[in-house]
Structure 1
Amino acid sequence: MDRPDLPLNALRVFEVAMRQGSFTKAAIELRVTQAAVSHQIARLEDLLGVVLFLRTSQGLVPTDEGRLLFPVLEHGFDAMARVLGRLGGRRDVEVLKVGVNTTFALGWLMPRLAAFAQAHPEIDLRISTNNNRVEILREGLDMAIRFGTGGWTGHDAIPLIEAPLTPLCAPAMAAHLLHPADLGQMTLLRSYRSAEWPGWFEAAGVACPPITGPVFDSSIALAELAASGAGTALLPITMFESYIAQGRLAQPFGTTVSAGRYYLAWPSDRPATPAMRIFSSWLSGKSTL
């Protein structure tokens, strides 16, 4: 029996979902809704007559059929990009795969990607978001934007943006915070970096109160909880300026504390490609973009 024609868009959505390991992250890269991604995957599975992903409590798990299909599509889309670039009179298109801390992706990178794409059509930039726990080689990436203090073994890194931490909460809650000690009466939302709140209270000259409750590995999740009035979060204010401008979060105190900054990192033994050099230059502010 002849197999029906497969829609190119659904195949592309599948390829991105496999790279990202998440329908949500695939939706961010494709700039569509998560529901649209799920619909395209379901459509492709129906046409192929196989299951490509298992939806488990641990997240998205590709099936053997999904793993078999993925490398074929990945190489195919890369080849198509190169050929289309030549037909359009452009230089060869180079794929650049970059893992990006989700907070940096949403708070700084995403609003600027259109300008980068316009200035550098010869680079097919593939973004994979993460919560700072990324293994560049194992995940098939070329580079990664990470938060920390640098000095990752086996990697070179250049500093990008400082991201001092400060308490942020809903404006209605901020109105009741007159002194740093008042935070002791509030719910303090915690990240997995346990030293952050004690470090901030030390900088503010106030004893750190006991901090209990759930621990989160995403600053985005902490910001959303704080904006909903669930508590006060210690966040990199540079990445949440839009929340403040929209009136969703407020900064009750001027005290900040540094827990690191954002870096662009890559394996030390990997020769820099033209795309890596261009992207690095753009990020570090050394380009004219």
Structure 2
Amino acid sequence: MDRPNLPLNGLRAFEVAARQGSFTRAAIELRVTQAAVSQQISRLEDLLGVTLFTRTSNGLVLTDEGAALHPVLTRNFDEIGDVLDRFLDGRYRETLHLGVVTTFAAGWLVERLPAFVAGHPGISLRLFTNNNRVDIAKEGLHMAIRFGDGDWPGLIAVPLFEAPLSPLCAPELAARLRDPADLAGQTLFRSYRADEWAMWFAAADAACPDLQGPVFDSSVAMAELAAAGLGVALLPALMFRRQLSEGRLARPFAAEIATGRYWLTRPRNKPPSPAMRAVESWLVEESGRA
């Protein structure tokens, strides 16, 4: 098809709907109505003479024709967007969207960003925090820092560093904890990884009590509640050095467990841009010092 005849609006609507798996979510991203998205895709299907989606109760499913078209559009729209981002402030700069688990951002990364900015004036690094559940493609990210074992399908994972977990609490409470068994009478805050406390008690050679404490998806929230004296949180002490040095938190026991590490991840099927390579090199170098 000749370039002047390319149905750009329909192609854009199709790419977003295929990526989001929903006309409703596509409409939100494109800032139009759901009906407008549906109409654009219907016109595209009429023009091409094929069906691009099968509508099911679970959402949109790409047909063979849609599956052939989608990755080509995604790759090219991403490349166009990347180049346009570099001109947003009137000069050529490369913008990089980095997803970061909140604990890592607050406890390690943000304080180091001024050094990165000073050393890389041609890169605009934008952070988007999450609770360790992130989809790079759907959220418009280039890379993401997350915690785990490094095994994420479709992603290249570069190891940064471990951050072992240990109990942290208010200093007043820590002074009353003489033995790991003393934790049995305390509120133990839990994360969505249900086996962490059991692993820690095993490492401390103590029996794990019946766990009844609230479950959180944010280590930062657990740390704030622990600092207020409302319970004990199992946290990566490395990420809360500031609170420990300021006396807001205390570490009553030396025992710790390693349940994973922080990783820098990026899509396997997309070549890294110069900014992505620069961020990776800088993070690996800085994490070596950690």
Same fold? TM cut 0.5 = yes
Contact preservation (8 Å) 2:160, 2:288: no
Q: C-alpha separation between the residues in 2 aligned to 1:141 and 1:65?
A: 14
Aligned residue for 1:140, secondary structure, equals: coil
1:67 is displaced (CA, Å) by: 2.5
Amino acid at match of 2:266: W
Q: Deviations over 1:32-57 (max 9, x none)?
A: xxxxxxxxxxxxxxxxxxxxxxxxxx
* C-alpha distance 64-255 of structure 1, shift in aligned 2 (>3 A): closer
Contact preservation (8 Å) 1:199, 1:257: yes
* C-alpha distance 117-256 of structure 1, shift in aligned 2 (>3 A): same
Q: C-alpha separation between the residues in 1 aligned to 2:29 and 2:156?
A: 37
2:236 maps to: 236
Q: Deviations over 1:205-237 (max 9, x none)?
A: 011000113210000000001000010000000
* C-alpha distance 196-64 of structure 1, shift in aligned 2 (>3 A): closer
2:181 maps to: 181
* C-alpha distance 287-196 of structure 1, shift in aligned 2 (>3 A): closer
1:83 is displaced (CA, Å) by: 3.1
Q: C-alpha separation between the residues in 1 aligned to 2:234 and 2:287?
A: 32
Q: C-alpha separation between the residues in 2 aligned to 1:142 and 1:168?
A: 34
Contact preservation (8 Å) 2:87, 2:93: no
Structure 2, unmatched stretches of 5+, are 1-24, 33-80
Aligned residue for 2:31, secondary structure, equals: helix
* C-alpha distance 236-65 of structure 1, shift in aligned 2 (>3 A): closer
Amino acid at match of 2:199: G
* 1:95 paired to 2:95: yes
* 1:67 paired to 2:74: no
Contact preservation (8 Å) 1:281, 1:287: no
Q: Which moved more, 1:166-175 or 1:205-214?
A: 205-214
2:210 maps to: 210
Aligned residue for 1:113, secondary structure, equals: helix
Q: C-alpha separation between the residues in 2 aligned to 1:238 and 1:273?
A: 31
Q: Deviations over 1:51-97 (max 9, x none)?
A: xxxxxxxxxx9x969925xxxxx99983544632xxxxxxx311111
Aligned residue for 1:173, secondary structure, equals: helix
Summarize the alignment of residues 150-229 of structure 1 with structure 2, pairs less than 5 Å apart: 150-229=150-229
1:185 is displaced (CA, Å) by: 1.2
Amino acid at match of 1:209: P
Contact preservation (8 Å) 2:82, 2:94: no
Aligned residues: 218
* 1:78 paired to 2:85: yes
Q: Which moved more, 1:278-287 or 1:167-176?
A: 278-287
Aligned residue for 2:198, secondary structure, equals: helix
Q: C-alpha separation between the residues in 1 aligned to 2:186 and 2:214?
A: 15
Q: C-alpha separation between the residues in 2 aligned to 1:105 and 1:162?
A: 15
Q: C-alpha separation between the residues in 1 aligned to 2:213 and 2:286?
A: 43
Q: C-alpha separation between the residues in 2 aligned to 1:178 and 1:115?
A: 42
Q: C-alpha separation between the residues in 2 aligned to 1:79 and 1:151?
A: 32
Aligned residue for 2:90, secondary structure, equals: helix
Q: C-alpha separation between the residues in 1 aligned to 2:216 and 2:28?
A: 32
Aligned residue for 2:285, secondary structure, equals: coil
Contact preservation (8 Å) 1:190, 1:214: yes
Question: TM-score when scaled to structure 2?
Answer: 0.70
1:286 is displaced (CA, Å) by: 7.3
Q: Sequence identity of aligned pairs in percent?
A: 54
1:161 is displaced (CA, Å) by: 1.8
Amino acid at match of 1:267: P
Structure 1, unmatched stretches of 5+, are 1-60, 69-73, 85-91
1:110 maps to: 110
Question: TM-score when scaled to structure 1?
Answer: 0.70
Amino acid at match of 2:182: D
1:151 is displaced (CA, Å) by: 1.1
Root-mean-square deviation (Å): 2.6
Contact preservation (8 Å) 2:188, 2:232: yes
* C-alpha distance 145-76 of structure 1, shift in aligned 2 (>3 A): closer
Amino acid at match of 1:67: R
